[in-house]
Structure 1
């Protein structure tokens, strides 16, 4: 193992996923020299094992489901999906797990890429060990930014390692549909992958420890998604925990807490995330390895003047779009501090303070039906001490929904702060509702008064007319 001389930069970024890329983009735009350290593929989890491949798998599933609900088209799409074609398109969207294009993008913004495993060894100092064993020492004049993301959390079950379970990575990159698949979990990854693989030919059993699916959303979201999964052929079992799992002669054998024995070809655990901070040298600067990193609204780690943590690692909002938002804030804050400009809360753009990662977080679950939400649920708003009212509307009351599909099913809810008459949260469940959530995010983040929303007229006949129905219901009841 050899070591080169140290190289000084203004900023060193650990992790070249979408979050790290966006930090580097902002710091380079501000004229700061920037190094990016990556041990895997430039583009990170979202590009190769999460957002892009999962949505590429799901899009044909949802398109077929929509088509089957349209007279004049439904009879033409009753057959199975072409699984090989779906997987081939997925492979295209992951660039066949090659990062040449992302590397060219980094080169284009003038950031230096250092491939290898990066570890903090002292304040403002990162040691990078390449696959060839060569070490480089990078020092940062202004900031080191941790953008290493999160990884799948696996339960502590004996023999689990020998089973070689799927995590989200294997679920989105599998080369063929398993004949039988057990999915453990009730959140976004579990419901999306159950949706995808059931449609692609697997017989799916979904084991959920809690009472229902999508527990962080309004209860009706999980109920509607569970109904649809069951209708699609998924065996949904709530209130069920895995007690043991083994692989016998190639077959996965699952034993539940109720004593049921389930056999499958593969098992996917979608049971949570852990920060990828166990081996980045946190102990050398007085922090706990493997911990989430607490930050202020400029994304600077609490108690530090030079260390930032952006994206999943700070545990504020584990979503790619929120991590990219944080990255833009962090990049602006680093640039301002490097130039000696004070960070003013009165900045009209709020460029130096992340607030939307806790006040107005949008999320879409790409199941059939889709579930989309932003802000607080009714329960969260009440727990936070707000005096609120929930307004519910069936999506079938909207003309645009009926045109979208025969027998359209879904529901919308807005949570109104009665003191200020603004919206604290909205949830939509139904086909195509993912495209509604940005308007809801604007209403929540902008604290738009309901009296003004009344004059934001939705086009007819579109699903967006659900806004009018929600406002009418609030006014008239």
Structure 2
């Protein structure tokens, strides 16, 4: 057998391209429906989230946040004034990233009866995927019912001359680095940029954050970015908004950044957190009439527009670039694939078993900075742009008893966006320490379209930060 000779064609009901959390969940649902399922992966089973994103980043951030919160408590603050033990934090990060070994994830996929094919998978025609293994051998997988593309996204680097020679960090290097750089420049103002600035500043780096726009976290309510920027500055991060990068070089091991205002900044490393692109450039989209490197447009059952067999689940469809939302889509897609395979009707009504309605109306997100920023649904600006007649109700989180008990000097803010015609919530935003644990209650209110008259009877326990719900409702009633 030669290196390029095809071995026997294998046929499955479903072929899943990509074994991150999204692909794993598609496989779980199709296997639960009794469909034979193959999963193709060229890197580690478990994907970006498990090894270079959600899991390692939160492992880096948790000690930083815990220390910041402890410093706000008399009786404890004096005990936590020293620096973090960076080596211990990184060791715990390594544990949570499974030391970049995927044995556990492999075992789980095998336990549900999915068959794993290691190698680079490319579409090679309708319902067909060709897998090139690391040793160069190829196998052709044919799907009776569906191929699900779950290949996620990759970091985008700006078009700057000589950038490759600088060896910049992307999110992968930022979450897997073995030591804290003495000086770190972070370029960007979104989630990755703010979280990594938080983590590495706490681990001992001197961080400069360069933001092209006017502020941070521009997909959230404006006050979220303002409060996070204020806290980052107080923590020692040099936050510079309205600042572009004109050139980057590495001179004798030192990164030299020249900004649009002519400032020269020297650092040991530079992280570009400037966006994501679909990981679809080399998966054979051209063989099925699609443009390589493109986002894949889908309907609410996650089936690619114009196809009756191709699905795109998770980041690749650009609906919501979040792991939890991709896993939600995977459950929807798996149910829809199973229904179509059995000849059962596919439900198309909003909030049905086969439609990813939450992608439009109830997407939650938490940014694990200090303070945390958490939001679900529409911001005020988004609701107004969509033509809703709305009212924003704001409340100072620091004046809630539970927040004051949580930590001295608690600073935060809450907003609910009320649809005045139906008196339901279209969106909710919380900013403050510990608010990530509040956002699911808001998600239930938004996704469930719970009337405000009913929310009055959802009594928050005293004294918790959740008491802000009562205060928001009182503010809506009284004004």
Q: Give the TM-score of the pair, scaled to structure 1.
A: 0.99
The answer to whether 1:152 aligns with 2:155 is: yes
Q: For residues 382 and 350 of structure 1, what CA distance do their matches in structure 2 show?
A: 27
Alignment map for 1:7-406 (pairs within 5 Å): 7-345=10-348, 350-406=352-408
List structure 1 runs of 4+ shifted beyond 6 angstroms: none
Q: For residues 345 and 15 of structure 1, what CA distance do their matches in structure 2 show?
A: 26
Q: For residues 357 and 244 of structure 2, what CA distance do their matches in structure 1 show?
A: 36
Q: For residues 286 and 307 of structure 2, what CA distance do their matches in structure 1 show?
A: 14
Q: For residues 131 and 457 of structure 1, what CA distance do their matches in structure 2 show?
A: 57
TM-fit CA distance, 1:346: 5.1
Q: 1:468 maps to which residue? A: 470
SS for the counterpart of 2:360 is: coil
1:372-401 Cα deviation digits (max 9, x unpaired): 000000000011111110000000121000
Q: For residues 203 and 344 of structure 1, what CA distance do their matches in structure 2 show?
A: 53
TM-fit CA distance, 1:345: 3.1
User: Are 1:312 and 1:319, in contact at CA under 8 Å, matched by a contact in 2?
Assistant: yes
TM-fit CA distance, 1:358: 1.8
Q: For residues 74 and 279 of structure 2, what CA distance do their matches in structure 1 show?
A: 49
SS for the counterpart of 1:4 is: strand
Q: For residues 348 and 281 of structure 2, what CA distance do their matches in structure 1 show?
A: 34
TM-fit CA distance, 1:3: 1.7
Runs of 5+ consecutive residues of structure 1 not aligned to the other structure: none
SS for the counterpart of 1:389 is: strand
Q: For residues 59 and 6 of structure 1, what CA distance do their matches in structure 2 show?
A: 47
User: Are 1:317 and 1:358, in contact at CA under 8 Å, matched by a contact in 2?
Assistant: no
User: Are 2:347 and 2:355, in contact at CA under 8 Å, matched by a contact in 1?
Assistant: no
User: Are 2:13 and 2:145, in contact at CA under 8 Å, matched by a contact in 1?
Assistant: yes
Q: For residues 152 and 345 of structure 1, what CA distance do their matches in structure 2 show?
A: 34
Q: How many residues align?
A: 476
User: Are 1:120 and 1:126, in contact at CA under 8 Å, matched by a contact in 2?
Assistant: yes
Q: 1:452 maps to which residue? A: 454
Q: For residues 298 and 459 of structure 2, what CA distance do their matches in structure 1 show?
A: 40
RMSD: 0.7
TM-fit CA distance, 1:113: 0.2
Q: 1:439 maps to which residue? A: 441
SS for the counterpart of 1:47 is: helix
Q: For residues 169 and 359 of structure 1, what CA distance do their matches in structure 2 show?
A: 30
Q: Give the TM-score of the pair, scaled to structure 2.
A: 0.99
1:111-131 Cα deviation digits (max 9, x unpaired): 000000000111000000011
Runs of 5+ consecutive residues of structure 2 not aligned to the other structure: none
TM-fit CA distance, 1:351: 1.2
SS for the counterpart of 2:408 is: coil
Q: For residues 376 and 125 of structure 1, what CA distance do their matches in structure 2 show?
A: 39
User: Are 2:280 and 2:316, in contact at CA under 8 Å, matched by a contact in 1?
Assistant: yes
